Chains A and B, each alone.
Chain A
């Protein structure tokens, strides 16, 4: 089955520390990979994407993600977390050969404590 897994419901990190939000995917063929962030009362925002090329993708607000084909992962990272990064993060995968196949993970709540 094609899907996305975010193994952690919640990630807690202290402000100033690096953060990682994990995502693994399963899709036939080449994947298009995305991260979205959902802030309370502010709706959903597109954060970054991997389509092709450099495995390290840089996005908004200092976030980056690394595509690892052998491990079928696309973990979201940030070198130094801010309290304002606290939000719900969603990973998504879309099959390059079939745009109908567009799946989201269950979300990871990131808590950054001062």
Chain B
């Protein structure tokens, strides 16, 4: 058990809908990462937050957004869902002091999103 929790574990929804995925980092970790893993696109980095602020942005679609709250949990919002958004979404956390990105990342179990 990595100490990172993600809810829900599975999510089935329809095209055009909006969903929110939730991630709670390990206690003490300030940084949260979101990743998407799909058969088509492989594993992709979406976005990183550090202590409530956006730190880096990867291949995240405009229909997707994320935020990190004062208690450091993070949510990934996916809207206007398309069939191609079906994927496994992982959250990871790390300690990270200041500008360093050298800390080990700990991954959650993932949320499997199925868009019908």
Contact = CB atoms under 8 A, between A and B. Distances in A.
Interface of A: 32, 43-46, 49, 51, 90, 92, 94, 99-107
B43 A102 contact: no
Nearest to B55: A99
B108 A43 contact: yes
B43 A107 contact: yes
Nearest to B102: A51
Contacts of A51: 102
Contact of B45 (A46, A49, A102, A107): A102
A99 B43 contact: no
Interface on chain A toward B: helix, strand, loop, or mixed SS?
strand
Contact of A102 (B58, B108, B109): B58
A90 B43 contact: yes
5 tightest Cβ-Cβ pairs between the two chains A and B: A99-B56, A102-B45, A104-B43, A44-B107, A46-B105
A92 B33 CA distance: 14
Contacts of A49: 102, 104
